[in-house]
Chains A and B, each alone.
Chain A
Amino acid sequence: NFMLTQPHSVSESPGKTVTISCTGSSGSIASNYVQWYQQRPGSAPTTVIYEDNQRPSGVPDRFSGSIDSSSNSASLTISGLKTEDEADYYCQSYDSSTWVFGGGTKLTVL
């Protein structure tokens, strides 16, 4: 079964840039779109990146997504970090007709 692996946690200071990785277990991660979700404590997830690198309306351009086929991974980069970016972030892709989630990464902005 296809799996996505994320670091458990990352931390960075306000104003800096952080990158969260999401590595596919098999096949090519570029074969299916990757989405990224932000989940603040006590709230539902929201989409910050869809189709690898597209931002929904209302998501600031500080958020960007990319695919690296050489490492079979996707990345979410957040620049100009703000304290409000502190949240859990999940990557998601597909395996046949099912959704596959990464385990989530807790971003601490301190």
Chain B
Amino acid sequence: EVQLVESGGGLIQPGGSLRLSCAASGFTVSSNYMSWVRQAPGKGLEWVSVIYSGGSTYYADSVKGRFTISRDNSKNTLYLQMNSLRAEDTAVYYCARDSVSGPYWGQGTLVTVSS
């Protein structure tokens, strides 16, 4: 059974750093396109980043230079390293697998950036 479990969210002060994890089971992370999508409180979905199976990475302009997507093949886990966090980064962060039957989403982890 395919499963995605995000973790690592929490309360962080502006300017701080946080690393989100997305543990996968039932498939191999490195063989799939994997994305991070976020949703600010009461707002719509916003794409954040993608890592392709070949290793190429892409970012939304709003996070470019501050966030880094990566994966650990031995742990079958996707990561999002978030630096220089701002209040506007406050959101639920979802990881998603781009599968042959459409994207499959995790349950999300909440990141709150506040002093």
How many interface residues does chain B have, given as a range?
10 to 19
Give Cα A101 to B46, complex, Å.
7
B35 touches A54 (CB 8 A): no
- Say which residue of B44, B50, B102, B106 sits within 8 Å of A35 (CB atoms): B102
- Say which residue of B50, B101, B105 sits within 8 Å of A45 (CB atoms): B105
Give Cα A50 to B107, complex, Å.
19
Q: State whether A99 and B107 are in contact (beta carbons under 8 Å apart), knowing that A56-B101, A56-B102, A57-B101 are contacts in the complex.
A: no
B37 contacts the other chain (CB 8 A): yes
- Say which residue of A56, A100, A103 sits within 8 Å of B47 (CB atoms): A100
How many interface residues does chain A have, given as a range?
20 to 34
Q: Which of A48-79 contact B (CB under 8 A)?
A: 49-51, 54, 56-57
Chain A residue at smallest Cβ distance from B60: A98
